């Protein structure tokens, strides 16, 4: 599960020489596709070795991955700019390096910054549309125009906009690490960390686009090390080991819950646990099916409800499964269950939150105001926890 915020507090053992600014070079142990070949998605299971690092993490936390940019895109940018790549420039810490290395390792080269767009508009012999859209009053129009476009598009579209290498990098943002929820417990897999990541590739404006970090891991890390560092989180197992827990994690959002279940098994936790998992199709996208069914059979997981959105004419999502089991969800909450949600913030998390409030009204007999108050109480008691992005 990806989490784009890269400013979280990091954690390591006191003796570890590694830090957020000096990440550990982890070895890639496993890079395996979780979907069957007929799936529309490419979701990968990665395992990275932390052996010898002195680093550790708790289940529910994240790790920061420090990617490099796609070499093919770097080459295309250099060609478009008329550069050879050996030009001296400062990296994002002010240390001298080459233009190629800076574009590869130090700066974000996909999404154009406002400064870059303004600079292109100023230098281009003709950029009437771009100049119009850079008017602050046209921000929404600019956002719409930028959708699916990258920096290379604007440079190709405005060949008269010329830049010196050092000037060009001064207009770029720093290449940030990406945070991903850990999908494993150190008690189950010592010295390793597992990740579940959707590999992002898509066509836009006639070009193939690539997710910076997901394709870095999927395509370019079989031999080279993966810079990694743990990141703290408050998305932990219940402090009360006897408390029931409800986990809602469709797609890669299931990552922390796989880790939770591994941890429960390792420590012998037998409290009730309920997982809602969703994906596109059961046949091709039911990640870790055998593992979850084994947790269920062995009693580490009490109930597993699935929602496969494209296996029927009308789409079914995790919130629909929640509503279909509303009476039991209310019963568990009334018994003191913790409610966890991990995944997409824009739609899924909002829909799950709305379903939760609907259940409180229908099953608990609460008014809208009382249901909202109940949710606030859950949050204050730290029984409603979300890891959304």
- List the chain pLDDT tens, one digit each, 389 residues: 655 433 333 444 444 589 999 999 999 999 999 999 999 999 999 999 999 999 999 999 999 999 999 999 999 999 999 999 999 999 999 999 999 999 999 999 999 988 999 999 999 888 788 888 888 888 898 888 888 899 999 999 999 999 999 999 999 999 999 999 999 999 999 999 999 999 999 999 889 999 999 999 999 999 899 999 999 998 999 999 899 999 999 999 999 999 999 999 999 999 999 999 999 999 999 999 999 999 999 999 999 999 999 999 999 999 999 999 999 999 999 999 999 999 999 999 999 999 999 999 999 999 999 999 999 999 999 999 999 99
- Residue 193: CA atoms inside 13 Å, Cβ hemisphere, count? 32
Name the segment(s) of the chain with CATH classification 1.20.990.10. 71-170
CATH top-level class of 245-388: alpha beta
Q: How far is C-alpha 386 from the geometric centre of its chain's CA atoms?
A: 13
State the Cα angle at 96 between 94 and 101, rounded to 5°: 105
Beta-bridged to residue 341, according to DSSP, are 248, 386
Return residue ranges of the chain for CATH 3.40.50.80. 245-388
May I ask the CATH class of domain 71-170?
mainly alpha
Question: Of all helices (H) and strands (E), which one includes residue 96?
Answer: strand 96-98
CA 304, CA 137: separation in Å to the nearest integer?
49
Q: Where in the chain is the domain with CATH 2.40.30.10?
A: 2-66+177-231
3-state secondary structure 258-327: HHHHHHHHHHCCCCCEEEEEEECCHHHHCCCHHHHHHHHHHCCCCEEEEEECCCCCCCCCHHHHHHHCHH
E strands, 147-272, in order: 178-181, 192-198, 201-204, 207-210, 226-231, 245-248
User: In the chain, how long is the greatest CA-to-CA distance?
Assistant: 70
Which residues on neighbouring strands pair with residue 328, listed in sequence order? none
Q: Return the sign of the alpha-carbon dihedral for residues 94, 98, 101, 104.
A: positive
CATH of domain 2-66+177-231: 2.40.30.10
Instruction: Give this prediction's pTM.
Output: 0.92
């Amino acid at each position: 599960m990806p989490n784009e915020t890269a400013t979280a507090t990091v954690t390591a053992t006191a003796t570890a020489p590694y830090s957020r600014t000096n990440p550990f070079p982890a070895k890639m142990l496993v890079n395996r596709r979780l979907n069957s070949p007929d799936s529309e998605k490419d979701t990968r299971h990665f395992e990275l070795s932390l052996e010898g690092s002195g680093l550790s993490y708790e289940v529910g936390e994240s790790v920061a991955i420090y990617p490099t940019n796609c070499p093919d895109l770097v080459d295309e940018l250099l060609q478009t700019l008329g550069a050879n790549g050996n030009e001296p420039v400062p990296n994002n810490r002010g240390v001298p390096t080459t233009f190629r290395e800076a574009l590869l390792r130090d700066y974000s080269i996909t999404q154009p910054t406002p400064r870059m767009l303004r600079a292109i508009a100023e230098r281009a012999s003709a950029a009437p549309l771009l100049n119009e859209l850079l008017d602050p009053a046209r921000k929404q129009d600019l956002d719409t125009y930028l959708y699916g476009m990258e920096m290379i598009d604007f440079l190709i579209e405005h060949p008269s906009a010329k830049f010196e290498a050092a000037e060009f990098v001064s207009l770029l943002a720093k290449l940030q690490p990406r945070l991903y929820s850990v999908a494993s417990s150190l008690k189950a897999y010592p010295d390793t960390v597992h990740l579940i990541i959707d590999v992002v590739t898509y066509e836009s404006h006639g070009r193939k686009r690539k997710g910076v970090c997901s394709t870095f891991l999927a395509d370019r890390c079989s031999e080279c090390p993966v810079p990694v560092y743990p990141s703290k989180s408050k998305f932990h197992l219940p402090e009360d080991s006897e408390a029931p827990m409800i986990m809602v994690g469709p797609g890669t959002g299931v990552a922390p819950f796989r880790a939770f279940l591994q941890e429960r098994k390792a420590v012998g936790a037998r409290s009730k646990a309920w997982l809602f998992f969703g994906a596109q199709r059961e046949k091709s996208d039911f990640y870790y099916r055998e593992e979850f069914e084994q947790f269920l059979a062995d009693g580490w997981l009490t109930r597993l409800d699935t929602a496969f959105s494209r296996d029927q004419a009308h789409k079914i999502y995790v919130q629909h499964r929640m509503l279909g089991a509303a009476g039991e969800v209310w019963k568990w909450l009334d018994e003191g269950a913790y409610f966890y949600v991990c995944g997409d913030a824009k739609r899924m998390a909002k829909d799950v939150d709305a379903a939760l409030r609907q259940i409180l009204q229908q099953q608990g007999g609460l008014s809208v105001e009382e249901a909202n108050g109940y949710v606030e109480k859950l949050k204050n008691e730290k029984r409603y926890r979300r890891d959304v992005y």
